Amino acid sequence: MKISIIQSDLFWEDKTSNFDTLGEMISPLYGKTDIVILPEMFNTGFSMSAERLGEPPEGETFNWMKSVAESGNFGLCGSYIIKENGNFFNRWVFIAPGNDYHYYDKRHLFMGGEDKLFSPGKSRMVFRFRNVRIFPSVCYDLRFPVWNRNRNDYDLVIFAANWPESRSEVWNVLLKARAIENQCYVAGANRIGIDGEKIKYCGDSMIINPRGEVIASVNRGEPGVVSANISLTELSNFRKKFPVLNDADDFSLKL
């Protein structure tokens, strides 16, 4: 499977401009990749204007994603603000041709704003796409290893983020840690630029193999697209040769 990450600046609370810019970056990938990964809140930036920017589950952004996924014949994913049953969710959405649709609501809401406006997700989610088992996480979720623990149930974890430059070293270290401890591929998609709250982002989007080695990355601070092939055969052989997951401690999550 080939996976691709889009690293871009985001227009603050401007969906149309983000659709146009991201669409231009994505179009060269049509028919050439299996999954295209966008950052967290890719259509607005990390805005707390949930009442104004929130959409129904199958609204404007959903329809844009569906159109792009159908045109490109790939899965397209990223998070944006959803309003449902009176609640707001930072929802990671995956859409692929043929009505293949999955979503995950961000579990760990960031302190100081998001945690007061949004509702946390209540369940972990793993789904299969083109024979790869995928586990989605969003930004702050990266800090919580128990939430991300592989129970021999996934091959690839995707992190969509708006992760500030001031904590970039944490981003880089934890992405590698999640790959190593879970013996899985990791794809981390982060934005660049300065948002409407004057927070600066440097990107550092990357794809990491189960040994914790970066196999593809976008230049820091620059817009770009990066792709890499992931191999289930290589992953299976590595896990058989070094079966760490068999010795993992049992636990249950309290939700």
Could you list the active site residues?
Answer: 40, 106, 139
Residues 6+ apart with CB under 8 A from 31: 72, 73
DSSP 3-state of 30: coil
- CA–CA dist 105, 125 (Å, integer): 9
DSSP 3-state of 181: helix
Residues 6+ apart with CB under 8 A from 115: 109
DSSP annotation of 249 reads: P
Per the DSSP assignment, residues forming a β-bridge with 227 are 4
Four-point Cα dihedral 34, 20, 18, 26, nearest 10:
20
- CA–CA dist 241, 140 (Å, integer): 32
26 — alpha (psi -120 to 50), left (phi > 0) or beta?
Answer: alpha
Q: How far is CA 100 from CA 47, 162, 207, 222, 236, in A?
A: 28, 26, 24, 32, 26
Q: How far is CA 55 from CA 52, 77, 212, in A?
A: 9, 16, 37
Residues 6+ apart with CB under 8 A from 167: none
